Amino acid sequence: MDSKNSKFGNLPPELIVKHPDSNLLHAAPKTLLPNQKLKLLIVEDDSSIATQMKWALGQDYEIFLAEDRLGALEVFRTEQPPVVTLDLGLPPHPAEVEEGFKALSEMLSQDGHVKIIVITGQGEKDNALKAIGEGAYDFFSKPIQIEELKVVLHRAFYVSQLERENRELQQRLSVGSFMGMLGSSPQMQEVFALIRKVGTTEVPVLITGESGTGKELAAKAIHQMSTRKEGPFVVINCSAIPETLLESELFGHEKGAFTGAHVQRKGRFETAQDGTLFLDEIGELSLSLQVKLLRFLQEQRIERLGGREEIFVDVRVMTATNRDLKERMSEGRFREDLYYRLGVVTISLPPLREREGDILLLATSLLHRYSAENKRKITGFTPQAIRALETHHWPGNVRELENRIKRGVIMAEGSKITPEDLELVSQYAKYEGHGLKEAREGLERDFIERAISKNKGNITKAAEELGVARPTLYELMEKLGIKKE
């Protein structure tokens, strides 16, 4: 079916209708190419009305005509128009509405999102309302007032487009997020799959990963998935509390257990009853507390400091570390038996720089959140900022990203965040306007300085990391004016 404008070359002027608000009517939806029109199916058995509608609407839409139910369904299937006008009285019984209703329900069952505007004869309000009840989007009575119909159609296309965009967004978000964790990279999808699996079990889980990779968030997600979700999620950071206090913090104490113990106090194990106890930085736990923890894992019983009875607690233990526990084990600072008990399942969170595509996903979602929280209208990042985000090393992982975006939202002066707003001036920008030689030397200097400081001034190790011999590194340092400190 054809809808080329040339066909309307000799239209009678009274049929060329212009809506007063023609800007609104012609506002092209974003996803269409400039000259591409939206598809409209007109189901109408009265050919003079059909032709009139086609003439009047052909400027705005790509029109498809059908004059009966089967013809309509055929076009509907092949063209998939987002909006349809449907005359309810169709052959073989144009005075009845049966065929029209049938067409309505068949189209809706093929595409539940289609906007069908039902066209009824005069005084057929009952049928119109019934059609709405069955899923029609709107109704319109004959005789057709083109101006009014245009407004109704415009709104129908607009709503359809909005709904579609919304569906697409929801879909993108649901693929890229899981229990409050964002990530569409294969690495994070694997993590999500693992969390799903262990969430419904009772096994202890050890979560490893660099600082700020989301270990606590992952532990919370597992808790939320488990049957303990109504119970408490108690967090304690083993490295933040001195050993002497940590013991009573974890296990509680009886009145008079030590000087200053004026009252009896329950520890975190007891507060976590029926829930999850998350022990962060487990690598820092002292050997004597490791023994106590092991005992709990074996018997599910604890003893308060200064207490005489054992107390049964129903708690799931989860732990996290950003240290290499195996190394601590080889140094004799972490018990092997405890390690194997805690790490029945180990989930390792990848560093942010290794998660393909996640940096921008997280950055965009955080940008929207903080810009709404701060009532700022920031719409995105400049191309330079995107490049800077993608090439930065992210030693502080997601937490660092959060902080930089928070800062960027506050600092941005325009509607887009720049690398300066993020304090991420890229290597390229630094050497802009310099020759290749200076850029190369600058980069070399940065690289070497970073390796030396990372290895705490140990030149042998730095040279090893940089893949050069030690004398070569000394030569380079001399040439580039790098001091050992």
Where does this chain bind Mg ion (CB under 5 A)?
A: 216, 280
- Tell the smallest beta-carbon distance from residue 180 to ligand ATP (Å): 7
Q: Least distance (Å) from ligand ATP to the CB of residue 178?
A: 8
Q: Which residues between 153 and 172 bind ligand ATP (CB under 6 A)? A: none
Classify residue 68 by its DSSP letter.
S
CB-nearer residue toward ligand ATP: 29 or 396: 396
Cβ density class 407-444: b for 16+ within 10 Å, e for less: ebbeebeeebbbbbbbebebeeeebeeeeeeebebeee
SS3 content of the chain, % helix, strand, coil (to 5): 50, 15, 35
Residue 201 vs 322, nearer CB to ligand ATP: 322
Cβ pair 133, 154 in contact under 8 A: no
Beta bridge partners of 278: 235, 318
Q: Are strands 181-182 and 177-178 parallel, antiparallel or unpaired?
A: antiparallel
Token pair 């930085």 is at which residue?
281
Identify residue 357 by its one-letter amino acid code: G
252 phi/psi in degrees, rounded to 5? 80, 175
According to CB under 6 A, which one of 58, 82, 176, 209 is a site residue for ligand ATP? 209
Question: Candidates 153-161, 162-170, 205-213, 462-470 — which segment interacts with ligand ATP by CB under 6 A?
Answer: 205-213
By CB under 6 A, name the one of 160, 213, 276, 384 that touches ligand ATP: 213
Choosing among Mg ion, ligand ATP, none, which partner's interface includes residue 286 (Cβ < 5 to 8 Å by kind)?
none
Amino acid present at 341: R
Nearest distance from C-beta of residue 215 to Mg ion, angstroms = 5
Q: Which of 50, 63, 83, 181 binds ligand ATP (CB under 6 A)?
A: 181
Beta carbon of residue 189, minimum distance to ligand ATP (angstroms, whole number): 11
Closest chain position to Mg ion (CB): 216
- Rule CB under 6 A: say whether 350 interacts with ligand ATP: no
Alpha-carbon span 157 to 84, nearest angstrom = 10
Distance (Å, rounded) from C-alpha 361 to C-alpha 229?
28
At closest approach, how far in Å is the CB of 479 from ligand ATP? 39
Give the one entry of ligand ATP, Mg ion, none that residue 211 binds, where binding means its C-beta sits below a cut-off of 5 to 8 angstroms depending on kind: ligand ATP
> Which of 185, 188, 186 lies closest to 214, judged by CA?
188
Residue 5 dihedral angles phi and psi, to the nearest 5°: -65, -25
CB of 280 to Mg ion, least distance (A): 5
- Least distance between ligand ATP and beta carbon 194 (Å): 14
Q: Which stretch binds ligand ATP (CB under 6 A): 128-136, 178-186, 453-461, 464-472?
A: 178-186
398 binds, among Mg ion, ligand ATP, none (CB under 5 to 8 A by kind): ligand ATP
Residue choice 212, 283, 350, 419 for contact with ligand ATP (CB under 6 A): 212
Pairing of strands 252-253, 265-266: antiparallel
The residue from 42, 114, 182, 386 that contacts ligand ATP (CB under 6 A) is: 182
Instruction: Confirm or reject binding of residue 351 to ligand ATP (CB under 6 A).
Output: no
* Whole-number Å distance between alpha carbons of 227 and 200: 7
Residue 85, strand partner residues: 42, 117
Q: Measured between alpha carbons, how far is 39 from 79 in angstroms, rounded to an integer?
A: 8
Residue ranges in 353-392 that form contacts with ligand ATP under rule CB under 6 A = 362
Which of ligand ATP, Mg ion, none lies near 420, with the C-beta cut-off 5 to 8 A by kind?
Answer: none
Per CB under 6 A, 398 contacts ligand ATP: yes
DSSP state of 97: S
CA dihedral 239, 244, 250, 253 (to 10 degrees): -170
Closest separation between CB of residue 446 and ligand ATP, Å? 26
In 110-254, DSSP assigns E strands to: 115-120, 138-141, 177-178, 181-182, 205-208, 233-237, 252-253
* Residue whose CB is less far from ligand ATP, 155 or 399: 399
- Candidates 198-206, 208-216, 301-309, 325-333; binding stretch for ligand ATP (CB under 6 A): 208-216
d(C-alpha 370, C-alpha 381), whole Å: 14
Size, binding site for ligand ATP by CB under 6 A: 17
Q: Which residue in the set 52, 161, 187, 211 belongs to the binding site for ligand ATP (CB under 6 A)?
A: 211
One of 402, 441, 449, 465 touching ligand ATP (CB under 6 A): 402
Partner whose binding site includes residue 252, from Mg ion, ligand ATP, none (CB under 5 to 8 Å by kind): none
Site pattern 274..303 for ligand ATP (x: CB under 6 A): ------x-----------------------
Residue nearest ligand ATP (C-beta atom): 214
CA distance linking residue 210 with residue 426, whole number of Å: 23
For 236, residues 6+ apart whose C-beta sits below 8 A from its C-beta are 249, 250, 268, 277, 278, 279, 280
Looking at the Cβ atoms of 240 and 469, the one nearer to ligand ATP is: 240
Q: Pick what 217 binds: Mg ion, ligand ATP, none; C-beta below 5 to 8 Å, kind-dependent.
A: ligand ATP
Single-letter code of the amino acid located at 24: L
Is 236 among the residues that bind ligand ATP (CB under 6 A)? no
In the complex, which residues of this chain contact ligand ATP (CB under 6 A)? 181-183, 209, 211-217, 280, 322, 362, 398-399, 402
